[in-house]
Amino acid sequence: MSGRALEALEQAEVVVGYKAYIELIFGLLLEKEVMSSGMTKEVERCSLAINRALEGKKVALVSSGDPGVYGMAGLVLELLEQKGAVESLDLEIIPGITAATFAAACLGAPLMHDFVVISLSDLLTPWEIIEKRLEHACRGDFVVVLYNPSSRKRTEQIHKAREIMLEYKKPATPVGIVRNVARKDEVSVITDLERMVNYSIDMFTTIIIGNSQTRRVGRFLVTPRGYRL
């Protein structure tokens, strides 16, 4: 988290967030009003945070990574728009480090050239659209970052995504897999597109699939920018 995010938590009177993320920072929240809930309760959490802020409280709504990347920032703005209250609050969206860039740093420098980030979760986005985005990303020879690649209920999407990518990328295309990025049990591995599904992949995993130029440099991955050496 950024220094500004830590500062905001210290200043907050009320902290709202997904229970798993609240647990990660619970030591910072002593003597604060803390409200948490589980998966699929995003709208309720954002509404609760907005209502407490409209009551005059200093509220911190917690996201993991960056709140504007698959986080709560957009939903808060949509709800404020619905209420006609966008200008009613002193709202600050504090940037964080999203899993894509943190995972890239763990692996070396695989995002040195153009890349796309695609979530494989079809809870809010139809799978047909996700497939189309994967196909076009591969046609354009982008480095591809996958969020939410697999869960207990969603086990086939990562296999389908790999099949699509194998139509456009070589089986030997380098792949980096990072699980629990930036947490104490973080683990990373470098493999290839052919063998990537042989490794443990879940909702806490970020996967980076290289483009046609990505290569291994010792224990790292690098996607050349195109400098003359």
Sorted by where each starts, the structural domains of the chain and their CATH numbers stand as: 3-83 (3.40.1010.10), 99-222 (3.30.950.10)
Please, is 229 exposed, middle or buried when counting C-beta atoms within 10 Å of its C-beta (0-12, 13-18, 19+)? Answer: exposed
pLDDT bracket for residue 229 (50, 70, 90): very high
- Its pTM stands at 0.94
Please, is 97 exposed, middle or buried when counting C-beta atoms within 10 Å of its C-beta (0-12, 13-18, 19+)? Answer: middle
In the chain the first and final C-alpha atoms are separated, in Å, by 35
pLDDT bracket for residue 1 (50, 70, 90): confident
Asked if 25 and 62 touch (Cβ cutoff 8 Å), the reply is yes
The pLDDT value given to residue 166? 98
pLDDT bracket for residue 44 (50, 70, 90): very high
Alpha helices in the chain (DSSP H): 3-11, 19-24, 42-54, 73-83, 99-107, 127-139, 157-166
The mean predicted confidence, pLDDT, of the chain is 96
